[in-house]
Amino acid sequence: MLRKNLIATLCTAAILSLPLTASAATETYKSELGTVTVTPVVEGLDHPWALAFLPDRQGMLVTERSGNLRVVSADGKLSAPLSGVPQVWAQKQGGLLDVVLSPDFAKDRMVYLTYSEGSGKTAAEGDTAGTAAGRGRLSKDMTRLEDFEVIFRQEPKLSVGNHFGARMVFDRDGYLFIALGENNQRPTAQDLDKLQGKIVRIYPDGSVPKDNPFVGQKGVRPEIWSYGHRNQQGAALDPWTGALWTNEHGPKGGDELNIIERGANYGWPIATHGIDYSGQPISESKGKVVEGTKIPFQVWEVSPGLSGMAFYDHSLFKAWDHSVFIGALATEELIRLQFENDKIVHEERLLKDMKQRIRDVRQGPDGYLYLLTDDDKGSLLKVGLAQ
């Protein structure tokens, strides 16, 4: 039933949503496959982090790291901040992070959020923080989230402002995956009694599926699906195979793209291609390849600073078919990876001349890509190929 509802919701969004009307002049950039067009839809966002498309021509939801959730209408108008959004620990990399819709949104109107939650008396207070996830019902007039409830908390809370991760993905069967950072506490990614540096798999209400790989093991958190991750900031479901892909920031060098397997160890910090920011080796590292850990699907020895990720699966721009797009923060560009039979066959760097930190990437139901730029006056951009 979960899978059936998810497919129905996705089909509804694809059929009913309309292209967003852009608010400013289009700029063009060269690429291997033709001229790339970039049109601002909304500008002046406060470090926008994630976006999610609404069905029925209602536009999209956008998070701002400072704690606001807003609606961008189909004609490009930006709403006031919605009420009912949880308090967030808005320090350094922390704040309001990812947003996704329920697989059964057409019926339940549930919106899922990840955010950093402090260790103090309120969610916004404390010297340390961790990632939390929760859900609330979007009101009919789209001005508030109703009955918001926390469904997951990263424990213990160890971050002093770094490495929250926090991308969410619903799979074809309706399970919720949350990709978590290790709070810049490296050894915790290998500690199975902690939720740092993990991917967790839960039901939409936060309960733990009985078939998770570590359920029933003493001293191991049952939510864990995979471990050995550093700071995962991109996640997406392969539309052809249903596999979960995530990307993560390495240290200095060693950004990774991984295809996630049940119960697998992805190596950090004992296996890494990177070095410490000081220029010294990672003290816990035993090499680039370590027995018992997964080899990255793709690795970058010069870190792009990977973030939001989206597969291209639409007939509008056939040249982009079987590509995955990844935002790059450090190198300020959009990375296009072309793949065949689970092998990367080509990499292209796009929009370098735009000089923008790209935080999120989503394919819109109209076939365009939509990007968020990470800035105190960030933008929502509509990206396509000139026809």
Supply the residues annotated as catalytic.
163
DSSP character for 46?
S
The 3-class secondary structure across 149-163, one letter per residue, is: EEEEECCCCCECCCC
Task: For the beta carbon of residue 252, count every other beta carbon within 10 angstroms.
Answer: 15
Cα torsion 183, 250, 191, 225: sign: positive
Joined tokens for residue 318: 């056939």
Distance CA 370, CA 117 (A): 28
The string of DSSP letters for 107-122 reads HH-EEEEEEEEESSSS
Q: Give counts: helices (H), strands (E), the chain.
A: 2, 24
Amino acid at 326: I
Joined tokens for residue 43: 């500008």
The answer to whether 69 and 60 are in contact (CB under 8 A) is no
Closest C-alpha to 128, from 97, 92, 160, 155? 160
Where helices occur in the chain by DSSP H, the ranges are 2-16, 105-108
